[in-house]
Amino acid sequence: MIEIRIHGRGGQGSVVAAYVLATTAIDVGRFAQAFPAFGAERRGAPVASFVRIAATPIRRHCQVAQPAFLIIQDETLLELPETLAGLLPGGGIVANTQRDSQALSDTLGHPVHALPATRLSRDTLGRPMPNTALLAAFLTLTNLLPVAGLKDALAQRFKGDVLARNLDLIDQVAAATPAGLWQERAHATSA
Stretches 58-66, 69-77, 102-110, 164-172: which one binds another protein (CB under 8 A)? 58-66
β-bridge partners, 2: 53
- How many residues of this chain bind another protein (CB under 8 A)? 30
Taking the complex as a whole, how short is the minimal distance between the CB of residue 67 and another protein, in angstroms? 14
Count the neighbouring beta carbons within 10 Å of the beta carbon of residue 138: 28
d(CA 69, CA 159): 30
Stretches 20-28, 108-116, 117-125, 165-173: which one binds another protein (CB under 8 A)? 20-28
Map residues 28-47 to x or -, x wherever contact with another protein holds by CB under 8 A: ---xxxxxx-xxxxxxxx--
Helix, strand, coil share (%) of the chain residues, nearest 5: 45, 20, 35
Taking the complex as a whole, how short is the minimal distance between the CB of residue 80 and another protein, in angstroms? 15
Residue 176 within binding range of another protein, rule CB under 8 A: no
In the structure, how many helices (H) and strands (E) does the chain have?
8, 6
β-bridge partners, 52: 3, 33
Residue 68 within binding range of another protein, rule CB under 8 A: no
d(CA 24, CA 153): 5
Residue 19 within binding range of another protein, rule CB under 8 A: yes
Candidate residues 5, 8, 48, 59; the one interacting with another protein per rule CB under 8 A: 59
